[in-house]
Structure 1
Amino acid sequence: MILTRRSFMHAGLAAVAMPAPALRAADTLDVVATTGMIADAARYILGDAGSVRALMGPGVDPHSFRQTRSDIVAMTRADLILWHGLYLEAQMEEFLLNLARSRKVVAVAEALDRERLLGHADYDGRFDPHVWMAPAIWTEVVAAIADALQSARPDLAPTFEARTQDYRATVARLHDYAQSVLATVPESARVLVTAHDAFSYFGRAYGLEVLGIQGISTESEAGLNRIRQLVDILVERGIGAVFVETSVSDRNMRALIEGAAASSHEVRIGGELYSDAMGEPGTYEGTYPGMIDHNVTTITRALGGDAPERGMDGNLAAAG
């Protein structure tokens, strides 16, 4: 059967009409999270007190993701649904807001102080949702995830609180590591060119100029004028490395490299970064700490800074 947007919404509205199941004290929590970054924190905090399913896996673009029939079933049966908010899950937002009428549905990034958030010229009236790129901000989202779990299982609040502090301590170490190694990148090389504007919080946190081919949402198209503009910047400023993303096509980035080559300026791929999704499950890069560690280490080394090849604690996969 081919599912249309109307059939998705019909199924979602039907699900909303179902009464939410009562959670008994002895039950384990059944949690659904939209993104891998949210799921990673929830899994750690929850421990063996329940299970967490992430709807969006490696390489999935959350800006264009639409819920499947199995996703709808999982969410309508879950005790708690955690989503990002800030219009990241643009195609799911209407469904999630409807679902919140009868289920415990929490948009965890909406808890952030608006003064911490960035706007964008191409994103009128909304904030840049990519807050996980700055560990110092993401730790506040982790606190909101913990609050939602504690609200669902207040009897386990002390355990959840202890595990939350452990997780946030790791995130704090990531921030310290990023500050330390990115500070070694030469001033003239502190330019991060990526497929779309997912790294603005990262750039603000660590003093890098960020240039994206596409806007904040991958739904925006990169015009020829934007590519020509970036080619001119690469050539004029002698920028020698650009970065592709695991969840975005590299087509525009290849066009950028070819454009620079036509102007007799060589640009190489500095590495592949995790932007809107983490790495493969079961790997270090498939966790939030591993995702950020990989990005920080890859960017630092590609831009001429000094960082250990295997990252903060030697856990990154060996190059090649």
Structure 2
Amino acid sequence: MKKILIIVLLSLVFTCKNTTESNGKPNVVTTTSMITDVVKNIGGDAINLQGLMGSGVDPHLYKASEGDVSKLANADLIFYNGLHLEGKLVEVFEKMESQNITTKAIAEVIDKNTLIGSDYFQSNYDPHIWFNVAYWKQAAEFVTSELSTLIPEQKVLFNTNLESYIAKLNALENELKTKIEELPQDKRILVTAHDAFNYFGKAFGFEVVGLQGLSTATEAGVQDVQKLAAFIIEKKIKAVFVESSVPKRTIEALQAAVTSKGHDVTIGGTLYSDALGNAGTIEGTYIGMFKYNVNTIVNALK
């Protein structure tokens, strides 16, 4: 079934090429909303930018619509995360290279020796790299380089935008560290629906436990819930968190399991994990999302 889907998508891509107007600017397509945001910050008005996945969209389970296929077919450059985050699209991206459509994985710029291992993905690495701000600076530099290759005459603009964006990311890092310092080390235990926050944990000194593992395609069983409930009670964890792109029923089941054992744990709020917030809101940007997440985590746990 998977092979049939890929063949259909590829046939649509190859037949739809050059069917939309370009207004003279190159068409750049992105997958996740995090990547859309960084490309927007660097590319500005010099490109036609279209993102495939909006707020609340789970990239692990995402399937391209007919409209998405049209966007991909008319792209001059496609940025995607890589490390098999967009599992159902990876083979399509690889095949598109033969049609003179450049596809670039953000993760290819990251030193694999620094990545967190994972048995859940074909790449054997955790793909949630955007939760390490240092990695996102590298992503911004990578995007700048690729856009400069695509439109050499705009290289100065892209580098100026990069300098401005890196300054904002540096300020973000400092602000997050200051906020996290409000939380004692023994309370830095983050329990969420799935393991999207391991890079965050590594960068900021949190122990991270996800109920569903690294991929939302992995279902949590009764034993998983009971085991994590016992862990929450043992560690006296005050709050657990749902995620915007993951159904909250598993965390609610976890809360109920803890309550049934005579202990209380609150749902500390909803975190943005695999997607940003709604477009036009503060949480609809990478920087705003990160600030919101950290404020939510610290305020619920301290």
TM surpasses 0.5: yes
In the alignment, the residues of structure 1 paired with residue 9 and residue 122 of structure 2 have an alpha-carbon distance, to the nearest angstrom, of 31
Letter in 2 for 1:200: N
Instruction: Name the structure 2 match of 1:292.
Output: 290
Letter in 2 for 1:106: K
Please give the residue correspondences for 1:17-166 in structure 2 after superposition, counting only pairs within 5 Å: 27-102=24-99, 103-123=101-121, 126-166=124-164
Distance 1:18 1:280, change over 3 A: closer
Shift of the 7–255 alpha-carbon distance from structure 1 to 2, 3 Å rule, reads closer
Residue 279 of structure 1: CA displacement?
0.3
What is the identity, as a one-letter code, of the residue corresponding to 2:186? Answer: S
> Take 1:98 and 1:128, find their aligned partners in 2: how far apart are those partners?
24
CA deviations 1:193-232 (Å, max 9, x no partner) are: 0000000000000001000001111111112111111000
Q: 1:8 to 1:70 in 2, by over 3 A?
A: farther
Asked whether the 8 Å contact 1:193–1:212 carries over to 2, the reply is yes
Aligned residues: 300
- Tell me the CA shift for residue 67 of structure 1: 0.8
Q: Describe how 1:197-208 pairs up with structure 2 within 5 A.
A: 197-208=195-206
Aligned-partner residue type, residue 96 of structure 1: F
Q: Which residue of 2 aligns with 1:257?
A: 255
- In the alignment, is the contact (CA less than 8 A) between 2:42 and 2:140 conserved in 1? no
Q: TM-score, normalised by structure 1?
A: 0.88
- Per-residue deviation, 1:188: 2.4
Q: Structure 2: 5+ residue runs without aligned partners?
A: none
Is the 8 Å Cα contact of residues 244 and 270 (structure 2) preserved in structure 1? Answer: yes
In 1, distance between residues paired with 2:157 and 2:183? 40
- Runs of 4+ off more than 2 Å: 3-11, 13-21, 120-125
Deviations 1:273-317 (A, max 9, x none): 00000000011110111111111111111111xxxxxxxxxxxxx
1:113 CA displacement: 0.7
Measure the CA separation in 1 of the matches of 2:88 and 2:286.
Answer: 24
CA–CA separation in structure 1 for the residues paired with 2:2 and 2:88: 13
C-alpha distance in 1 between matches for 2:68 and 2:15? 17
1:69-115 deviations in whole A, cap 9, x for unaligned?
A: 11111111112111110110001111111112220111121221112
**Kindly tell me: are residues 124 and 5 of structure 1, through their superposed partners in 2, closer, same or farther at Cα, counting changes over 3 Å?**
closer
Q: CA deviation at 1:174?
A: 1.3
Instruction: Give the distance between the partners of 1:124 and 1:40, measured in 2 at CA.
Output: 26
1:120: Cα distance to partner?
2.4
Structure 1 CA distance for aligned equivalents of residues 4 and 152 of structure 2 = 38
Q: Which has the higher helix share?
A: 2
TM-score by length of 2: 0.94
Residue identity opposite 1:268 in structure 2: T
- Structure 2 CA distance for partners of 1:270 and 1:19, relative to 1, 3 Å: closer
Distance 2:95 2:18 in 1: 13
Q: 1:230 aligns with which of 228, 233, 257?
A: 228
CA contact (8 A) 1:195 1:243 kept: yes
SS, match of residue 196 in structure 1: coil
Q: Decide whether aligned partners of structure 1 residues 97 and 228 sit closer, same or farther in structure 2, where only a CA change above 3 A counts.
A: same
Q: What displacement does 1:178 show?
A: 1.3
CA-CA distance at 1:169 after TM superposition? 1.4
Judge conservation of contact 1:38–1:82 (CA < 8 Å) in 2.
yes
SS at match of 1:101: helix
Q: 1:88 to 1:57 in 2, by over 3 A?
A: same
How far, CA to CA, are the matches of 1:124 and 1:42 in structure 2? 26
C-alpha deviation, 1:14, in angstroms: 5.1
**Partner amino acid for 2:291?**
D
Find 2:192's aligned residue among 191, 194, 199: 194
Distance in structure 2 (CA, Å) of the matches to 1:95 and 1:116:
27
Measure, in 1, the Cα distance between the counterparts of 2:201 and 2:97: 34
Q: Which moved more, 1:105-114 or 1:11-20?
A: 11-20
CA positional deviation for 1:137: 1.4
- Give 3-state SS (helix, strand or coil) of 2:79's partner: strand
Gaps of 5+ in 1: 305-320
Identity over aligned residues, as a percent? 37
